[in-house]
Amino acid sequence: MMMMMMMMMMVPVKVVCKQSKPWFTGELSDQLKKQKQTKKKCRRRSTPRNYAEYYEVLRKTEEMIEEANQQWWEKEVSKLKTASQADKWKINNRITNSDTRMEIQPVTID
């Protein structure tokens, strides 16, 4: 029992769902926390200095998100060169978000 608990503590848990972003990193998480704190500070005491600091952190956060997304996309595309045919379709579906398909609903006539 103790050994099993030790193994569970060593294995990282990753929750994957439709809303999760595969390119989201710990650095982005820390930056979003910093953005939230500066926004709170800006709302509590609205000075030009606080506004400037908030918008600078906001700009940096947006840049980090775009860069992380672009790096992930490039990494996925580079995998296409060595992937098998079946894996290429999986990678393509991940990149293009083709999981959200529009389907025609059946119509019932009385």
Sequence-distant (≥ 6) Cβ neighbours of residue 79 within 8 angstroms: 87, 91
Nearest to 36 by CA among 11, 16, 61: 61
Per-residue pLDDT band for 58 (boundaries 50, 70, 90) equals very high
Domain ranges of the chain: 24-93
In this prediction, what percent of the chain has a pLDDT beyond 90?
38
Q: Is the pTM of this model over 0.75?
A: no
More confident residue, 94 or 62: 62
- Could you read off the pLDDT of 61-84 as tens digits, one per residue? 999 999 998 998 888 888 878 888
Q: Is the Cβ–Cβ distance between 25 and 68 less than 8 Å?
A: yes
Average pLDDT, the chain: 78
